[in-house]
Amino acid sequence: MIEAIIFDFDGVIVDTETPDYTTWQGIFESYGVELERELWTGFIGGGSDEFDVYEHLEGLSGITVDRVELRRRMRAIFLEEIEQSPVLPGVLDYIECAKDMGLRVGLASSSSREWVEGHLGSRGILDRFDDIKGSDDVDMVKPSPELYLSSSRELGVCPGNAMAIEDSVKGVTAAKLAGLFCVAVPNPMTEGLDFSLADVRVRSLAHMPLQSLIDRANQDS
């Protein structure tokens, strides 16, 4: 029986994935080169140290970049766009529905807890989560199952009685390795990827009531 819902953050609660790519894409274009979408999407959902974007830019352009200045420039553009990004459709309804059903609500992200809590706080929903786990809480981020195992443990539920909501292949892999029922909700950056490992794929949380997913998970358990 499902006793907890555990959300990913980037791309599930707020679409940070699309602005992240488009911001870097614009920077690459300013150097006369292209940031390949297929390459970028392969790293979504994992740790920030998996792909050295500066090294890739230097390799394509043949120009040594000032990484500190480039990061400052990128972050200014990126954060301005993120601040205007709303909570994605269906998320707030799912949280409220889960609370009404007496379910625990957690969050497990490969991003830092500071990043996640800052954006949840600015949108007034930080206190809706019973537990938040980020990259600084574990030794290995997704696709390792450690974040989901840690979140389940903190929420006081068996992983098999928890549902993960994910937007990336790495996230789905992590959830399934941990033993959770996993719902894939691809964002515009990940919609073309293979989510066959997920138990269910939905276009948007706004198009599928939480109760329907819980009924499906309970039938499969």
pLDDT in tens, 108-167: 999 999 999 999 999 999 999 999 999 999 999 999 999 999 999 999 999 999 999 999
- Has 131 been annotated as catalytic? no
Residues pairing with 131 in the sheet: 106
| 27 and 107 fall within a common domain | no
| 91 and 75 fall within a common domain | no
Return the pLDDT at 43: 86
Separation between Cα atoms, residue 221 and residue 170, nearest integer Å: 23
CA-to-CA dists, residue 21 to 11, 37, 119, 182, 187, angstroms: 12, 8, 18, 25, 12
| 104 and 175 fall within a common domain | yes
| 21 and 11 fall within a common domain | no
| 57 and 155 fall within a common domain | no
Pull the structure tokens for residue 101: 């059903």
- Has 139 been annotated as catalytic? no
| 9 and 49 fall within a common domain | no
Query: Which one is catalytic: 10, 15, 20, 137?
Result: 10
Return the pLDDT at 184: 98
Domain endpoint, select from 58, 83, 108: 83
Classify residue 9 by burial, with Cβ atoms within 10 Å: 0-12, 13-18, 19+.
buried
One DSSP character per residue, 1-39 reads: ---EEEE--BTTTB--HHHHHHHHHHHHHHTT----HHH
| 198 and 143 fall within a common domain | yes
Please state the domain count of the chain: 2
Pull the structure tokens for residue 47: 């740790």
Domain endpoint, select from 55, 83, 111: 83
| 160 and 94 fall within a common domain | yes
Query: For the CA atoms of 9, 39, 197, 129, what is the dihedral angle to 10 degrees?
Result: 0
Query: For the CA atoms of 123, 23, 56, 72, what is the dihedral angle to 10 degrees?
Result: -70
| 40 and 77 fall within a common domain | yes
Separation between Cα atoms, residue 63 and residue 60, nearest integer Å: 8
| 73 and 131 fall within a common domain | no
CATH (domain of 186)? 3.40.50.1000
Separation between Cα atoms, residue 140 and residue 99, nearest integer Å: 29
| 130 and 206 fall within a common domain | yes
User: The pTM is what?
Assistant: 0.92
Longest dimension (CA), the chain: 56
| 67 and 159 fall within a common domain | no
pLDDT in tens, 9-65: 999 999 999 999 999 999 999 999 999 999 999 888 876 677 899 999 999 999 999
Could you tell me the residue range of the domain that residue 49 belongs to? 17-83
Domain endpoint, select from 32, 67, 83: 83
CA-to-CA dists, residue 137 to 6, 50, 116, 162, 169, angstroms: 16, 18, 13, 19, 21
Query: Which one is catalytic: 8, 15, 130, 167?
Result: 8
